[in-house]
Amino acid sequence: MASLIDLANPTRFMRLSAALLPWFAAAAAVFLAVGLYLAWFVAPADYQQGETIRIMFIHVPAAWLAMMFYSMMAVSAFGTLVWRHPLADVAQKAAAPIGACFALVCLITGALWGKPMWGTYWVWDARLTSVLVLLLIYLGIIALWRVLDEPLRAARAVAILTLVGFVNVPIIKFSVDWWNTLHQPASVLRMGGPTIHPSMLWPLLILAIGFTLFALALHMLGMRAEIMRRRVRTLTILEAERLDRLAAQGAAA
């Protein structure tokens, strides 16, 4: 555990991420290109939902990533509160906008899929409402990062909010089992295996890998920017102190 924490120091992360980032971005581009080709030109139309099934190929990965990034933030929040690890709150801060965007994509594509299939863009049922709550929690976390200037104080406040909000993640996952909802039950990540035909499952899984690599590349980029922002803040303070000292010495002379 100690060696894992040593490995995750900001300087090592900057070096490692500079080397990994182009590979993640390139792999994401390949998986997304292949996945989109399969989703549009190879996967058949659904016998019930027709061509609208193609919305599934972005709606489902977006939903998975919105929950995955929130779960990653909860782990980071734990790292911030328990170990006070310097990279934990950096990881958490960089993940929030990415998770929020995937939650938004999930809600918009879900509404656009719902209208032709259910006859409505929106219903206040458990699955849809809990995903909307997830988006609102993400926005609350982003806002909290912005209102608190001191990064370490902000990190602890955000970590507590993140852990409290984590209760929503299992609610999203099991909402379709616990309550009667318009949304269909899980058909990929379920006990007993997927119920989707392989001709649709493969494009979905390839796109899910592509979107995950893309999101991880963005996360690395965001973490790098956040580490540099903190370094800029420290150096600006040091420079201001140095200039103050020089001004005081000049006045004394």
Residues 38 and 202: beta-carbon distance below 8 Å: yes
Residues 67 and 173: beta-carbon distance below 8 Å: yes
Q: Choose, by CB under 8 A, the member of 46, 52, 154, 176 that binds another protein.
A: 52
Residue 42: its H or E element: none
Q: Choose, by CB under 8 A, the member of 38, 43, 60, 62 that binds another protein.
A: 62
Nearest CA among 69, 77, 128, 129 for reference residue 99: 69
Nearest CA among 221, 95, 93, 99 for reference residue 156: 93
Please identify which residue in the block is written with the tokens 């609208």: 52
Q: Choose, by CB under 8 A, the member of 170, 199, 229, 247 that binds another protein.
A: 229
Query: How far apart (Å, rounded) are the C-alpha atoms in residues 41 and 62?
Result: 21
Going residue by residue from 86 to 125, which x/- string records binding to another protein, judged by CB under 8 A? -----------xx--x--xx--xx--xx-xx---------
Q: Would you count residue 222 as binding another protein (CB under 8 A)?
A: yes
Please identify which residue in the block is written with the tokens 């494009």: 203
- For CA atoms 201, 71, 172, 119, the dihedral sign is negative
Q: Closest approach of Cβ 4 to another protein, in Å?
A: 26
Nearer to another protein, 82 or 243 (CB): 243
Residues 175-214 that bind another protein (CB under 8 A): 214
Nearest CA among 237, 222, 242 for reference residue 91: 222
Going residue by residue from 129 to 148, which x/- string records binding to another protein, judged by CB under 8 A? --------------------
Query: How far apart (Å, rounded) are the C-alpha atoms in residues 57 and 2?
Result: 40
Nearer to another protein, 50 or 170 (CB): 50
Q: Choose, by CB under 8 A, the member of 44, 50, 170, 185 that binds another protein.
A: 50
Q: Closest approach of Cβ 81 to another protein, in Å?
A: 26
**CA 109 remoteness from chain centre:** 17
Q: Closest approach of Cβ 253 to another protein, in Å?
A: 15
Site for another protein, rule CB under 8 A: 45, 50-52, 54-55, 58-59, 62, 97-98, 101, 104-105, 108-109, 112-113, 115-116, 214, 218, 221-222, 224-225, 228-229, 231-232, 234-236, 238-239, 242, 245
